[in-house]
Amino acid sequence: MREAVSGIKHPAYRDAIALTRAGGRSATGRYLVEDADMVRQALAAPDTPIFAVFATPEATSYLEVGCRERQCPLYIVGSGLLTKLVGTGYETAVTAVAVVGQRTIAPSELLTLPNPLILCGEHIHDPRNVGVLIRTAEAGGCAGLLLSDDSAEPFSRQTVRSTTGSILRLPLALTANLPQTLTELKAQGAVIVTSSGESSLLAYHIDLSVRPLVLVVGNEQTGISEAIMQVADFDVSLPMAGSADSLNVTVAGGILVYEAIRQAMAK
Protein backbone atom coordinates (compact mmCIF):
# COMPACT_ATOMS: atom_id res chain seq x y z
CA MET A 1 0.00 0.00 0.00
CA ARG A 2 1.23 3.46 -0.95
CA GLU A 3 -0.52 6.51 0.48
CA ALA A 4 0.19 10.22 0.79
CA VAL A 5 0.01 11.77 4.25
CA SER A 6 -0.67 15.49 4.30
CA GLY A 7 -1.07 16.25 7.99
CA ILE A 8 -0.44 15.21 11.57
CA LYS A 9 -4.00 13.93 12.08
CA HIS A 10 -3.46 10.87 9.88
CA PRO A 11 -3.92 7.80 12.17
CA ALA A 12 -0.68 6.09 11.12
CA TYR A 13 1.26 9.32 11.61
CA ARG A 14 -0.27 9.85 15.06
CA ASP A 15 0.71 6.31 16.03
CA ALA A 16 4.26 6.91 14.83
CA ILE A 17 4.71 10.24 16.59
CA ALA A 18 3.68 8.59 19.87
CA LEU A 19 6.87 6.53 19.54
CA THR A 20 9.02 9.63 19.99
CA ARG A 21 8.20 9.27 23.71
CA ALA A 22 9.51 6.50 25.95
CA GLY A 23 6.00 5.79 27.22
CA GLY A 24 4.73 5.23 23.69
CA ARG A 25 7.56 2.84 22.90
CA SER A 26 7.03 0.91 26.11
CA ALA A 27 3.26 0.65 25.64
CA THR A 28 3.43 -0.61 22.05
CA GLY A 29 6.71 -2.53 21.91
CA ARG A 30 7.61 -0.49 18.82
CA TYR A 31 10.23 2.15 18.01
CA LEU A 32 11.44 4.37 15.18
CA VAL A 33 14.33 3.72 12.82
CA GLU A 34 15.48 6.69 10.80
CA ASP A 35 17.05 7.47 7.64
CA ALA A 36 16.96 5.65 4.35
CA ASP A 37 19.92 3.34 4.95
CA MET A 38 18.63 2.07 8.29
CA VAL A 39 15.10 1.77 6.88
CA ARG A 40 16.51 -0.42 4.10
CA GLN A 41 18.25 -2.49 6.76
CA ALA A 42 14.94 -2.84 8.61
CA LEU A 43 13.20 -4.02 5.45
CA ALA A 44 15.98 -6.57 4.93
CA ALA A 45 15.90 -7.89 8.53
CA PRO A 46 13.43 -10.81 8.45
CA ASP A 47 13.38 -11.30 12.23
CA THR A 48 12.42 -7.68 12.92
CA PRO A 49 8.72 -6.83 12.46
CA ILE A 50 8.17 -3.70 10.37
CA PHE A 51 4.80 -1.95 10.52
CA ALA A 52 5.10 1.24 8.45
CA VAL A 53 7.53 3.35 6.45
CA PHE A 54 7.29 7.12 6.07
CA ALA A 55 9.40 8.61 3.28
CA THR A 56 9.81 11.80 1.29
CA PRO A 57 8.90 11.53 -2.42
CA GLU A 58 12.55 11.29 -3.49
CA ALA A 59 13.17 8.34 -1.15
CA THR A 60 10.15 6.27 -2.13
CA SER A 61 11.65 4.94 -5.36
CA TYR A 62 14.27 2.82 -3.59
CA LEU A 63 12.05 1.79 -0.65
CA GLU A 64 8.89 0.83 -2.51
CA VAL A 65 10.07 -2.63 -3.58
CA GLY A 66 11.17 -3.54 -0.05
CA CYS A 67 7.87 -2.35 1.40
CA ARG A 68 5.95 -4.39 -1.14
CA GLU A 69 8.00 -7.51 -0.35
CA ARG A 70 7.43 -7.06 3.39
CA GLN A 71 3.77 -6.12 2.84
CA CYS A 72 4.43 -2.93 4.75
CA PRO A 73 2.48 0.31 4.08
CA LEU A 74 4.53 3.13 2.56
CA TYR A 75 3.40 6.63 3.51
CA ILE A 76 4.65 9.57 1.45
CA VAL A 77 5.25 12.68 3.54
CA GLY A 78 6.91 16.03 3.20
CA SER A 79 10.23 16.82 4.86
CA GLY A 80 8.45 18.95 7.45
CA LEU A 81 6.38 16.03 8.72
CA LEU A 82 9.47 13.81 8.86
CA THR A 83 11.37 16.44 10.83
CA LYS A 84 8.49 16.66 13.28
CA LEU A 85 8.56 12.88 13.60
CA VAL A 86 12.25 12.60 14.51
CA GLY A 87 13.04 16.06 15.85
CA THR A 88 16.30 17.87 15.20
CA GLY A 89 19.83 17.77 16.51
CA TYR A 90 21.64 15.89 13.75
CA GLU A 91 23.21 17.47 10.70
CA THR A 92 22.01 14.99 8.07
CA ALA A 93 18.53 15.44 6.63
CA VAL A 94 16.16 12.55 7.31
CA THR A 95 14.38 11.17 4.25
CA ALA A 96 12.71 8.06 5.70
CA VAL A 97 11.48 6.65 9.01
CA ALA A 98 10.26 3.13 9.78
CA VAL A 99 8.10 1.84 12.63
CA VAL A 100 9.56 -1.48 13.76
CA GLY A 101 8.99 -3.96 16.56
CA GLN A 102 11.28 -4.25 19.56
CA ARG A 103 13.12 -7.56 19.35
CA THR A 104 14.09 -8.94 22.76
CA ILE A 105 14.63 -12.44 24.09
CA ALA A 106 14.90 -14.05 27.52
CA PRO A 107 18.48 -14.09 28.89
CA SER A 108 18.45 -17.91 29.04
CA GLU A 109 17.85 -18.02 25.27
CA LEU A 110 21.25 -16.43 24.68
CA LEU A 111 22.95 -19.69 25.63
CA THR A 112 20.99 -21.60 22.98
CA LEU A 113 22.23 -19.43 20.11
CA PRO A 114 25.28 -20.25 17.95
CA ASN A 115 28.60 -19.04 19.41
CA PRO A 116 27.31 -18.19 22.91
CA LEU A 117 29.71 -15.29 23.44
CA ILE A 118 27.68 -12.64 25.24
CA LEU A 119 28.54 -9.01 25.87
CA CYS A 120 26.85 -7.65 28.99
CA GLY A 121 26.39 -4.11 30.29
CA GLU A 122 25.49 -3.13 33.83
CA HIS A 123 23.79 0.26 34.37
CA ILE A 124 25.19 1.86 31.21
CA HIS A 125 24.09 5.47 31.55
CA ASP A 126 24.82 7.02 28.14
CA PRO A 127 22.40 5.94 25.37
CA ARG A 128 25.18 6.30 22.80
CA ASN A 129 27.29 3.85 24.76
CA VAL A 130 24.41 1.37 24.80
CA GLY A 131 24.13 1.79 21.04
CA VAL A 132 27.82 1.23 20.44
CA LEU A 133 27.80 -1.87 22.68
CA ILE A 134 25.01 -3.28 20.50
CA ARG A 135 27.04 -2.44 17.39
CA THR A 136 30.20 -3.95 18.90
CA ALA A 137 28.42 -7.15 19.91
CA GLU A 138 27.12 -7.68 16.40
CA ALA A 139 30.47 -6.87 14.79
CA GLY A 140 32.21 -9.33 17.11
CA GLY A 141 29.79 -12.15 16.30
CA CYS A 142 28.31 -12.26 19.80
CA ALA A 143 25.13 -14.24 20.37
CA GLY A 144 23.60 -11.09 21.80
CA LEU A 145 23.80 -8.26 24.31
CA LEU A 146 22.60 -8.70 27.89
CA LEU A 147 21.69 -5.39 29.52
CA SER A 148 20.44 -4.42 32.96
CA ASP A 149 17.17 -2.55 32.58
CA ASP A 150 18.46 0.40 34.62
CA SER A 151 20.66 1.21 31.64
CA ALA A 152 19.72 3.83 29.06
CA GLU A 153 16.76 2.75 26.96
CA PRO A 154 17.99 0.71 23.97
CA PHE A 155 15.13 1.90 21.73
CA SER A 156 15.56 5.65 22.13
CA ARG A 157 16.57 7.80 19.16
CA GLN A 158 20.15 8.34 20.39
CA THR A 159 20.70 4.64 21.05
CA VAL A 160 19.18 3.42 17.80
CA ARG A 161 21.21 5.86 15.70
CA SER A 162 24.39 4.79 17.50
CA THR A 163 23.81 1.14 16.58
CA THR A 164 23.92 2.04 12.84
CA GLY A 165 21.41 -0.79 12.27
CA SER A 166 22.81 -3.54 14.50
CA ILE A 167 19.78 -3.31 16.80
CA LEU A 168 17.70 -4.68 13.92
CA ARG A 169 19.66 -7.94 13.88
CA LEU A 170 21.31 -8.53 17.26
CA PRO A 171 19.29 -10.37 19.94
CA LEU A 172 18.88 -8.15 23.00
CA ALA A 173 18.08 -9.47 26.47
CA LEU A 174 17.01 -7.13 29.28
CA THR A 175 16.94 -8.03 32.96
CA ALA A 176 15.68 -6.28 36.08
CA ASN A 177 18.04 -8.30 38.28
CA LEU A 178 21.41 -8.72 36.60
CA PRO A 179 23.18 -10.49 39.50
CA GLN A 180 20.44 -13.13 39.62
CA THR A 181 20.44 -13.50 35.83
CA LEU A 182 24.22 -13.98 35.75
CA THR A 183 23.95 -16.52 38.58
CA GLU A 184 21.40 -18.47 36.53
CA LEU A 185 23.56 -18.33 33.39
CA LYS A 186 26.53 -19.51 35.45
CA ALA A 187 24.50 -22.47 36.71
CA GLN A 188 23.85 -23.35 33.06
CA GLY A 189 27.57 -23.48 32.34
CA ALA A 190 28.47 -19.92 31.39
CA VAL A 191 31.79 -18.43 32.53
CA ILE A 192 31.30 -14.88 33.85
CA VAL A 193 34.17 -12.41 33.36
CA THR A 194 34.03 -8.85 34.67
CA SER A 195 36.35 -5.99 33.79
CA SER A 196 37.69 -3.41 36.23
CA GLY A 197 40.71 -1.18 36.65
CA GLU A 198 41.53 -2.65 40.06
CA SER A 199 42.24 -6.22 39.01
CA SER A 200 45.84 -7.39 38.78
CA LEU A 201 44.81 -10.15 36.37
CA LEU A 202 45.13 -9.11 32.74
CA ALA A 203 42.46 -10.22 30.28
CA TYR A 204 45.23 -11.74 28.13
CA HIS A 205 46.20 -14.16 30.90
CA ILE A 206 42.95 -16.13 31.26
CA ASP A 207 41.18 -18.47 28.88
CA LEU A 208 38.57 -16.45 27.00
CA SER A 209 38.08 -19.13 24.35
CA VAL A 210 35.57 -20.99 26.52
CA ARG A 211 31.89 -20.92 25.58
CA PRO A 212 29.38 -19.98 26.86
CA LEU A 213 31.21 -16.81 27.98
CA VAL A 214 29.70 -13.61 29.37
CA LEU A 215 31.89 -10.48 29.29
CA VAL A 216 30.58 -7.82 31.67
CA VAL A 217 31.35 -4.09 31.51
CA GLY A 218 30.04 -1.61 34.05
CA ASN A 219 28.74 1.89 34.58
CA GLU A 220 30.77 4.74 33.10
CA GLN A 221 31.47 6.33 36.50
CA THR A 222 31.10 3.63 39.15
CA GLY A 223 32.12 0.52 37.23
CA ILE A 224 30.79 -2.92 38.10
CA SER A 225 28.81 -3.39 41.30
CA GLU A 226 29.96 -5.58 44.16
CA ALA A 227 26.93 -7.84 43.62
CA ILE A 228 28.14 -8.64 40.09
CA MET A 229 31.73 -9.08 41.26
CA GLN A 230 30.58 -11.78 43.68
CA VAL A 231 29.05 -13.76 40.82
CA ALA A 232 32.03 -13.47 38.47
CA ASP A 233 34.45 -16.32 37.85
CA PHE A 234 37.21 -13.83 36.94
CA ASP A 235 37.75 -10.10 37.22
CA VAL A 236 40.23 -8.82 34.66
CA SER A 237 41.85 -5.56 33.69
CA LEU A 238 43.31 -4.13 30.51
CA PRO A 239 46.87 -2.76 30.48
CA MET A 240 47.07 1.03 30.72
CA ALA A 241 50.04 3.16 29.66
CA GLY A 242 50.98 6.70 30.57
CA SER A 243 48.68 8.57 32.94
CA ALA A 244 45.47 7.05 31.65
CA ASP A 245 43.56 5.12 34.28
CA SER A 246 40.42 4.08 32.40
CA LEU A 247 38.88 3.41 29.00
CA ASN A 248 35.47 4.27 27.62
CA VAL A 249 33.11 1.39 28.39
CA THR A 250 32.53 0.66 24.71
CA VAL A 251 36.27 0.53 23.99
CA ALA A 252 36.81 -1.86 26.90
CA GLY A 253 33.93 -4.02 25.74
CA GLY A 254 35.32 -4.14 22.22
CA ILE A 255 38.79 -5.14 23.37
CA LEU A 256 37.38 -7.95 25.51
CA VAL A 257 35.15 -9.28 22.73
CA TYR A 258 37.98 -9.31 20.20
CA GLU A 259 40.41 -10.88 22.65
CA ALA A 260 37.86 -13.66 23.19
CA ILE A 261 37.62 -14.06 19.40
CA ARG A 262 41.40 -14.06 19.00
CA GLN A 263 41.86 -16.73 21.62
CA ALA A 264 39.14 -18.93 20.11
CA MET A 265 40.68 -18.62 16.64
CA ALA A 266 44.13 -19.48 17.98
CA LYS A 267 42.98 -22.85 19.26
pLDDT for the residue 240: 83
Cα angle for residues 180, 181, 182 (degrees, 5° grid): 90
Q: How many CB atoms lie within 10 A of CB 117?
A: 26
Q: How does pLDDT run across 236-256, given as a tens digit for each residue?
A: 999 888 767 678 999 999 999
Residue 44 phi, psi dihedral angles, 5° rounding:
-90, 0
pLDDT for the residue 205: 96
Closest CA to 257 of 137, 161, 116, 94: 137
Counting Cβ atoms within 10 Å, is residue 225 exposed (0-12), middle (13-18) or buried (19+)? Answer: middle
On the CB side of 77, CA atoms within 13 Å amount to 27
Q: How does pLDDT run across 9-36, given as a tens digit for each residue?
A: 999 999 999 999 999 999 999 999 998 9
3-state secondary structure of 204: helix
3-state secondary structure of 34: strand
Distance (Å) of CA 143 to CA 173, 177, 224, 234: 10, 20, 22, 21
Return all residues near 9 (Cβ < 8 A) that are at least 6 apart: none
Closest CA to 10 of 72, 52, 49: 52
Q: How does pLDDT run across 40-81, given as a tens digit for each residue?
A: 999 999 999 999 999 999 898 889 999 999 999 999 999 889
pLDDT for the residue 93: 77
pLDDT for the residue 91: 54
Q: How does pLDDT run across 121-138, given as a tens digit for each residue?
A: 999 999 999 999 999 999
**What DSSP state is assigned to residue 5?**
-
pLDDT for the residue 198: 85
pLDDT for the residue 255: 97
Do strands 96-101 and 30-34 pair parallel, antiparallel, or not at all (unpaired)?
antiparallel
Distance (Å) of CA 239 to CA 158, 177, 203, 246: 31, 30, 9, 10
Mean pLDDT, the chain, integer = 94
3-state secondary structure of 93: coil
Q: What is the H or E stretch that residue 55 is in?
A: strand 50-55
Q: How many CB atoms lie within 10 A of CB 246?
A: 14
Residue-range domains of the chain with CATH: 2-101 (3.30.1330.30), 107-266 (3.40.1280.10)
Indicate the pLDDT class of residue 92, thresholds 50, 70 and 90.
Answer: low
